[in-house]
Chain A
Amino acid sequence: MIDPLIYHIPITQLPAYRGRNLVVRSRDPAEIIAGLDGGAGERCLYVQLLGLGAAIDRLACWEVKVPMELVIENPEAELPLLYRYSPLLMDRPIRVAVPLVAGFGKVVRLSVSLDFAVKIEGGQPTLDLIEELLGVASDYLHRSTLTVPIEFIHSLFQSFYRQEPVSLWDIQEENPHQVRYITDQGEEALSKRLARVKPPADPRLFRKDPFAGLLAQGGECRDCQFVNRCGGYFKWPDKEYPCDGIKNLLRMLEQAAAELRRDLALYQAQGKWSSSV
């Protein structure tokens, strides 16, 4: 039986994880190409290029059309380099992963202007970053030139719009039922964000037990209207993190989704539109 887990590995671990579902990372495009050519990347879901500083000419001619994630490490410094990667979009889907640190909003803005999908990473933003996050969400909701998803905002908005459940742990590809993160030293961890959290004996229990603990402790999660979507995601690694700003963000998305649903229903009722989204 094929192992259903997805392993996020450094390319140096490729021989050890061959045949499994992989996300392979390196900061050297030549190393990625050499590692995955000749069928070695058969089960590679996407590659992660760490940092934007490397020479990328060979990527423009790389025949393996596996999707790519550009992992931003220093938003301010790497911002102008994004333009170099734009021509590669003709060959493969490319997503920009940006950490929730100062300057991330600029990277998001330029990335979506270049038609790169975006994933915002990290879970406990400061008040300043919450403001920046609200600005990004506002762009996502209202900017007519924006045509690509910004995760986790996009999937949450869709979930509110469709009134369907979703888990932030899934959106952020950190669900311990599905994903393992292999450190550069070859050690197994729950995710990049939680690489320093000692994993429990059975990682599948990670979410359930601590989350139950959070609820039992009568903490913020207990009465939170968004707990079914969030699942305590923002309470890691610091369980005392105050979620007020995050709740503002989720409320903004929920209200916008409700507004869109209402407008479309009205439009449909007027006979101007007959199909579903």
Chain B
Amino acid sequence: MKSPFSLILLPTLSCNADCEYCFETKTEDRLSLDRLAVVLEKVMAYLEQRQIPTLFIYWQGGEIMTLSPEWFERAHELIQESAQIHGRRVVNYLQSNLLGYSQKWNSILAKMFGNSLGTSMDFPNLHRRTKGGTPQQYQALWERRVMEAKAAGIAIGVIAIPNAATLDWGAEALYEYFVDRLEIKEFQINTPFPGGTANAVKEGYPLETERLTQFLLDLADLWANRGRGAGVRIGPFDKLLAYFEQGSKDVLCIWRENCANELVCIDPRGHIAQCDCWVSSYPEYRFGNLFTPASLSDLLQGSQARQKFHLRPGQLVQTEDCLDCDYLALCHGGCPVRAYSVRGDLLKKDPYCALYQGIFRRMEEIAAKG
């Protein structure tokens, strides 16, 4: 059975926030519903040709809630029509900063997204800001929106990016903020990288690997001791533990054999790239434009930029020390954009290699203890 194909779809590059570490280059471009129909037709044709039964669409921006719920109502109809015509299954996921959330969204969130959504917040919040506002104002508004959404029965998952202060405050403080104070049962820690236009904040990336590793190991232990039995899920620990306990290989995209086999990103102008980290900020790494006459299959197969992504893991086992690593089966050299933005070459291994090894080893130890 073929795995699902994932489409990171950015129907807008407009954003209502002004986060200092954002890797995207914002524009006011928006995807029209007519053009959404073209996207769907070409993606569905690609799935049919490759005999892939299921499409995951990750709706992101920009900020996705700068579009209207009505836009999504119509988009949902188009998706259902297209899926039926092509005999495919579509599962939709939403990632929003929630600043624009109101009750008007509840109906489409229930209908299209299974009454759940993903959002982002750091602790402490230093870099996420509303336009012209402060991190504190952003955080207060975000917390209010989270509470409103939770009150409406919407399941919330959070992505958190550690910063230097996160490491100073420690794992316990972060855990207490999300789990005890906000009662968030599902969150994920992503490592920061200096993607997109350089600025002072990004100059501090990657974070000091040794301290970040220790922070994550502390958080893993905390989760294993307190959260795991209480139904709290923290990525990447939960899925790594499932891997070491049961062999289920459902890990983050950064650790897949080759992300180029499994996903693409399309922005509102039709640009196609490996993921949202590439599409708006690295034009030289785009695979092509979907709004040309070519099929998605032809665009992907003919793209020299995509060829580099395909070659990457094979190159890493020859040029880096990945083949000697105990965790090659889990990592395959890590994330291309982290390698590119830190080391200037996507054909290098991920700069957080030592950190990943530390986490893998700790989760293996936790699994062995039972």
- Which residues of chain A have a CB within 8 Å of any CB of chain B? 57, 60-61, 63, 79-84, 86-87, 90-91, 106, 109-110, 112-115, 143-147
Q: State the CA gap A115–B49 with chains docked (Å).
A: 25
> Is A144 a contact of B364 with CB atoms below 8 Å?
yes
Residues of A within 8 A of B314 (CB): 79-84
B324 to chain A, nearest CB (A): 8
**Given that A80-B317, A83-B313, A84-B310 are contacting pairs, would A109 and B323 also be in contact in the complex, using a CB cutoff of 8 Å?**
yes
* Contact of B328 with A110 in the complex, beta carbons under 8 Å: yes
Question: Inside 8 A of A82's CB, which chain B residues have their CB?
Answer: 314
Known: A80-B315, A81-B314, A106-B323. A86 touches B257 (CB 8 A): yes
**B66 to chain A: which residues have CB within 8 Å?**
none
| Closest CB in chain A relative to B252 CB, distance in Å | 16
Choose among B49, B318, B332 the residue that contacts A79 (Cβ–Cβ < 8 A).
Answer: B318
Give the nearest-CB partner of A109 in chain B.
Answer: B323
Q: In the complex, are the beta carbons of B327 and A86 less than 8 A apart?
A: no
Minimum CB–CB distance for B329 against chain A, Å: 4
Give the distance in Å from the alpha carbon of A84 to the alpha carbon of B313 in the complex: 10
Docked Cα-Cα span, A106 to B332, in Å, equals: 14
Residues in chain B within 8 A of chain A (CB atoms): 1-3, 49-51, 244, 247, 249, 257-258, 261, 301, 310-311, 313-315, 317-318, 323, 326-330, 332, 364
- CB B220 to nearest CB in A, in angstroms, measures 17
Q: Which residues of B contact A87 (CB under 8 A)?
A: 261
Is B323 touching A145 in the complex (CB atoms < 8 A)? no
* CA A147 to CA B2, docked complex, whole Å: 20
- B247 and A90 within 8 A (CB): no
Question: Are B258 and A145 in contact, with the CB atoms below 8 A?
Answer: no
Q: Please, how many angstroms separate the alpha-carbon atoms of A143 and B244 in the complex?
A: 11
What would 15 A/B residue contacts be, using CB atoms closer than 8 Å? A61-B49, A61-B51, A63-B51, A79-B318, A80-B318, A83-B313, A90-B2, A106-B317, A110-B323, A112-B329, A113-B328, A113-B329, A143-B326, A145-B330, A147-B247
- Identity of the chain A residue whose Cβ is nearest the Cβ of B330 in the assembled complex: A145
Q: Is the CB of A90 within 8 A of B258?
A: no
| A83 and B257 form a contact (CB under 8 A) | yes
Which 4 A-B residue pairings sit nearest by Cβ, starting from the closest?
A: A80-B314, A113-B329, A145-B329, A113-B328
A61 to B2 CA separation, bound complex (whole angstroms): 11
How many Å lie between the Cα of A81 and that of B317 in the bound state? Answer: 11
CB distance from A108 to the nearest CB of B (A): 11
Residues in B whose Cβ lies below 8 Å from that of A84: 310, 314
- Bound Cα distance A143, B323 (Å): 13
A60 vs B301: C-alpha distance when bound (angstroms): 13
Q: Which residues does chain B contribute within 8 Å of A110, judged by CB atoms?
A: 317, 323, 328
Shortest C-beta distance, B339 to chain A (Å), equals 16
What residues on B are CB-neighbors of A90 within 8 Å? Answer: 1-3
Whether A145 and B2, one on each chain, are in contact in the complex, defined by CB atoms closer than 8 angstroms, is no
Contacts A110-B317, A145-B326 known; list 20 others, CB within 8 Å: A60-B50, A61-B49, A63-B51, A79-B317, A80-B311, A80-B317, A83-B310, A83-B314, A84-B310, A84-B314, A86-B261, A90-B1, A106-B317, A106-B323, A109-B323, A109-B328, A112-B329, A113-B332, A114-B329, A143-B326
Look across to chain A and name the residue whose beta carbon is closest to the beta carbon of B370: A272
Closest to A272 in B: B370
In the bound complex, residues from chain B placing their C-beta under 8 Å from that of A61 are 49-51
**Nearest Cβ distance between residue B140 and chain A, in whole angstroms?**
44
Report the separation of the CA atoms of residues A155 and B258 in the bound assembly, to the nearest whole angstrom: 31
**A86-B258 in contact (CB<8A):** yes
Chain B's nearest CB lies how many Å from the CB of A144? Answer: 6
Q: Which residues of A are found within 8 Å of B313, using beta-carbon distances?
A: 83
Rounded to whole angstroms, the CA-CA distance of A83 and B249 in the bound complex is 17
B-side contacts of A114, CB under 8 Å = 257, 329
* A145 to B261 CA separation, bound complex (whole angstroms): 22
Q: Would you give the shortest CB distance from B47 to chain A, in whole angstroms?
A: 12
Query: In chain B, what residue has the closest Cβ to A143?
Result: B326
Q: Contacts of B332 on A, CB cut-off 8 Å?
A: 113
Residues of B close to A145: CB separation below 8 A: 326-330
Q: Which residues of A contact B257 (CB under 8 A)?
A: 83, 86, 114
Shortest B358–chain A CB gap in Å is 16
Distance between Cα atoms of A60 and B50 in the complex (Å): 7
Residues of chain A contacted by B310 (CB below 8 angstroms): 83-84
The residues of A that contact B311 with a CB separation of less than 8 Å are: 80
Q: Which residues of A contact B318 (CB under 8 A)?
A: 79-80
In Å, the complex CA distance between A86 and B317 comes to: 15
A109 to B258: give the CA distance in the assembly, Å.
Answer: 17
| Docked CA distance A61–B249 (Å) | 24
B261 CB to closest chain A CB (Å) equals 5
- Which chain A residue shows the least CB distance to B49? A61
Q: In the complex, which residues of chain B have a beta carbon less than 8 angstroms from the beta carbon of A80?
A: 311, 314-315, 317-318
Which A residues lie within 8 Å of B258 (CB)?
Answer: 83, 86
Closest chain A residue, CB of each to CB of B256: A86
Complex interface: chain B residues within 8 A of A81 (CB): 314
**Complex: chain B residue closest to A146, CB-CB:** B329
- Taken together as a complex, chains A and B put the C-alpha atoms of A112 and B50 apart, in Å, by 25
> Residue on A with the closest CB to B3?
A90
Q: How far is the CA of A82 from the CA of B329 in the complex (A)?
A: 13
Q: How far is the CA of A48 from the CA of B330 in the complex (A)?
A: 28
How far in angstroms is the closest Cβ of chain A from B2?
5
CB distance from B330 to the nearest CB of A (A): 6
**Chain A positions within 8 Å of B323 at CB level:** 106, 109-110
Closest residue of chain B to A81, judged by CB?
A: B314
Q: How far is the CB of A224 from chain B (nearest CB, A)?
A: 34
